[in-house]
Amino acid sequence: MTRAAKQSGEFDRIARYFAPLAASHAGAFGLTDDAAVITPAPGTELVVTTDTIVAGVHYIGDEPPELIAAKLLRVNLSDLAAMGATPRAYTLNVALPSDIDDRWLEAFAGGLAEDQARFEVTLIGGDSVGTPGPVVLSLTAYGEVPASGAVRRSAATPGDTVFVSGTIGDGALGLRAVRGELSGISETHTAALIARYRKPEPRLGLLARLAPEMALAAADVSDGLVADLGHIADASDVAMVIRADDIPLSTAARAVLDRDPEALAMILSGGDDYELVFCAPHADSDVVEAIAKECDVPVTAIGKVEKGPGVRVIRADGSGITLGRTGFTHG
């Protein structure tokens, strides 16, 4: 029997691999109906985000299916995190060529099941089709925020402090490592960068805790730190000044930068980190750091908001750093 012949039909595929992922949500109806029902908790609003990834474009294509599933879900959860939302549910659309067999589907569904349990979110519906092209996976995530409480990009104010969670640059450097384009560092550091690229950590909970305390503007670092700060700057009609020496780096990224100082441009603009970058009133800096510690999310102050347009990255002596590109753009 060929590999293609081992692929289940659409309805068997849904019943076997995806319906169990929807079992905990009554409004999913076991994926037997044409739509699902979500009832927001009283006093909340729904936040909706969606992402599509294509094999060979947004991921290499030879990753273990469970890691592909985890990244697909996590990048959407990161968008919810940037809005201060708590995840509730998601829908999934898959377009699969004939060489995707049941073993692939079983591993893919297993990756979703593992992260569903960890992040307390559930599948509620979607679609499954065949395609003669590459694998196409689309996920739409739903979260809840208090009414009128969503964190927006448009609330940054001159005088605010700019914070970022975690470390920056690991995703872009990890992609280079996966492609065999990164050399001269240890196997341990290479493995750490690849892991960060393939399985990002959505910073859920942090902005949800901070938002009731203070005015925030935020984005997740998907396109690149400078590019995503630019999105906040444009939406808020302000300027950002970022101190390059304060950008938090992992030991693996630091090893790359020590060997190749030109890698700084990749670190600042490469994207795929899925950390949070946000602006908060300077007077609330101590509160930000205290709540971040309670949430077990490391945060670092990296700059400030000023009047004017754009994003400037400066060295310790105040001189500017010019980047050839600011971030990933979607074709």
Which ranges constitute the DSSP H helices of the chain? Answer: 10-13, 65-82, 102-119, 170-178, 187-198, 206-210, 225-236, 251-259, 264-269, 285-294
Question: Left, alpha or beta for 45 (phi > 0: left; psi -120 to 50: alpha)?
Answer: beta
Tell me: the pLDDT tens digits for 176-229? 999 999 989 999 999 999 999 999 999 999 999 999 889 999 999 999 999 999
**Both tokens of residue 329?**
């753009």
Edge-to-edge strands, sheet with 239-243:
217-220, 276-280, 161-165, 299-306, 239-243, 311-314
What is residue 58's predicted lDDT score, i.e. its pLDDT? 81
Domain 8-146 in CATH 3.10.110.10: no
The whole-number mean pLDDT for each consecutive block of 10 residues of the chain, a chain of 331 residues, reads 48 86 92 92 96 87 92 97 97 94 95 97 94 95 96 97 98 94 95 96 96 94 96 98 97 96 94 97 97 97 97 92 60 41
Architecture of the domain defined by 161-314:
Alpha-Beta Complex (3.90)
Question: Left, alpha or beta for 318 (phi > 0: left; psi -120 to 50: alpha)?
Answer: left
Domain boundaries, the chain: 8-146, 161-314
In 3D, which of 164, 142, 281 has the Cα closest to residue 211? 281
What is residue 13's predicted lDDT score, i.e. its pLDDT? 81
| Amino acid (one-letter) located at 273 | D
What is residue 325's predicted lDDT score, i.e. its pLDDT? 57
> CB neighbours (10 Å) of residue 178?
18
What is residue 6's predicted lDDT score, i.e. its pLDDT? 53
What is residue 213's predicted lDDT score, i.e. its pLDDT? 87
What is residue 204's predicted lDDT score, i.e. its pLDDT? 97
What is residue 61's predicted lDDT score, i.e. its pLDDT? 77
Burial of 75 (0-12, 13-18, 19+ CB in 10 A): buried
Question: Left, alpha or beta for 261 (phi > 0: left; psi -120 to 50: alpha)?
Answer: alpha
Pair type for strands 122-130 and 86-96: parallel
Separation CA 109–CA 315 (nearest Å): 46
